[in-house]
Amino acid sequence: MTRLALNGGPEAAAGLDIPRWPQCTDTSKEYVLDALESEKWCRIIDGADWVDRFESEFADYHDAEHAIAVSNGTVAIELALRASGLQPGDEVLVPAYTFIATASAVACMGGVPKFVDVDPNTFNIDPESVRENVTDRTVGIVGVHFGGYPMDMDELLPIVEEHGLFLIEDSAHAQGSEWRGQRVGTFGDFGTFSFQQSKSLPAGEGGIVVTDDDVLAEEASLVHNIGRPVGAGYKHTMLASNYRLPELQGALLCSQLEKLPDENRRRQENEERLVSELDVIDGIHTLRRDDRITNRGYCVYNFRYDADAFDGLSRDRFLEALRAEGVPASPGYGLPLYKQPAFSREQLGTLVPPDTEIPVNRHLHLPGVEEIMETNVRLSHTALLAEGETINAIPRAIRKIQENVDQLLES
């Protein structure tokens, strides 16, 4: 018997070599210093070009016709909703397992988020649950490519077309992901991305919307710049807010984008190593394999834990033991969105027109989401950047726990 680290034994994953994140490279310093010394820190100043450059390079990277950079990923969704024509009181379907911004953006723009289930095999919105929840009040869907794993576009797009819905792809996790050779974010009306510090393309904060529709792109550009075209002076053609991205962040993002393709290749290679080892461990369930996913971006990597294969050891106790072995794992989001107090009828009622029908979210029971809440184990994308073969320390630590689970049950 080997003593578990939780009980004072050596860490099984002591050699796991995960790089720091985010990374300030020499190129990052060069580009940001250039923007700093230019003294043109706002994108609408004559001669400012870093945000323009990033928009062009990101659009090329994601095979999109247009890209509009904004201050963060949350307002990217808000911008896309407004440009898509969302009206106060409109109903929008959103997955119930995601970061709150996917749904709060709908509410903050006056819409009603209606929560649908997710597939625990992919962590993505369940197309069957979408079909069951579309009503005559539904105007659109905000779906999430969760963890960078693309949604099933083959199933989702026919529903969108049949009911005349808009589709916004929340791609905050999915810089570089592809479905059947096409970059995500380009299937729906808009794709939105986040560049918050934890993301694989980080700038502290920041976001972007992409679209192939010229009319939607023009609308989004107006909305993001206080209702005026960039460079139009003080002529405002609509009432809107200021979502602009500063030049310093545009410069930083240009440098980070240059290294993203190589980092994603490394993550994908490490994911393959990791999955090949995890798949042979009884009670560990990795994401469903899908040949239609032709490239991957990453933010987190999720797998599910079956307590029965560990003699009934709870998922939370398993995580405690795994972290003690040196694996930085977590359970992910602590609550389904429908259990968040922010989505109570009282809260939502302050944002929508009087007499709008608001669901009683606390009564929801979505089995896919609740299975994930009990079984999820999450790793950051940074774990998939582990050097060399050190990624194998993760399954080694899991096997150690499984083989010595009696130590945890006794304690």
Catalytic annotation, pick one of 114, 145, 173, 378: 173
Q: How many helices (H) and strands (E) does the chain have?
A: 13, 16
- What percent of the chain has a predicted confidence (pLDDT) above 70? 100
Catalytic annotation, pick one of 20, 234, 289, 291: 234
Interval 186-226: pLDDT, tens = 999 999 999 999 999 999 999 999 999 999 999 999 999 99
Domain boundaries, the chain: 26-257
Catalytic annotation, pick one of 170, 224, 298, 301: 170
Q: Is the pLDDT of residue 345 over 70?
A: yes
Name, in order, each residue with C-beta under 8 angstroms of 252's C-beta and a sequence gap of 6 or more.
28, 31, 32, 203, 204
pTM (2 d.p.): 0.96
Interval 291-342: pLDDT, tens = 999 999 999 999 999 999 999 999 999 999 999 999 999 999 999 999 999 9
Catalytic residue status for 285: no
Q: What is the mean pLDDT of residues 368-396?
A: 96
**Average of per-residue pLDDT values in the chain:** 96
The CATH class that applies to domain 26-257 reads alpha beta
Catalytic annotation, pick one of 82, 244, 267, 317: 244
pLDDT of residue 1: 74
When pLDDT is cut at 50, 70 and 90, the band that residue 63 belongs to is very high
Backbone dihedral angles phi then psi of residue 57, each to the nearest 5 degrees: -70, -35
Which of 142, 125, 100, 77 has its CA nearest to residue 333? 100
Catalytic residue status for 3: no
Query: Is the CB of residue 234 less than 8 Å from the CB of residue 262?
Result: no
Burial class (CB in 10 A: 0-12, 13-18, 19+), 360: exposed
pLDDT of residue 82: 96
Catalytic residue status for 62: no
Q: Is the pLDDT of residue 69 over 90?
A: yes
Residue-level length of the chain: 411
Interval 46-62: pLDDT, tens = 999 999 999 999 999 99
Q: Is the pLDDT of residue 411 over 70?
A: no
Catalytic residue status for 234: yes
Catalytic residue status for 235: no
**Sign of the CA dihedral running 52, 53, 56, 61:** negative
Q: Is the pLDDT of residue 232 over 80?
A: no
pLDDT of residue 305: 98
Secondary structure class of 73 (helix, strand, coil): helix
Catalytic annotation, pick one of 66, 115, 126, 196: 196
pLDDT of residue 410: 75
Paired strand residues for 193: 208
Catalytic annotation, pick one of 131, 228, 236, 259: 228
Measure the CA–CA gap between 83 and 214, rounded to whole angstroms.
Answer: 12
Catalytic annotation, pick one of 54, 58, 99, 338: 99
Catalytic annotation, pick one of 114, 145, 183, 199: 199
Measure the CA–CA gap between 286 and 101, rounded to whole angstroms.
Answer: 26
Interval 114-163: pLDDT, tens = 999 999 999 999 999 999 999 999 999 999 999 999 999 999 999 999 99
Q: Is the pLDDT of residue 285 over 70?
A: yes
Measure the CA–CA gap between 344 and 215, rounded to whole angstroms.
Answer: 35
Q: How many CB atoms lie within 10 A of CB 409?
A: 11
Maximum alpha-carbon separation in the chain: 75
Catalytic residue status for 214: no
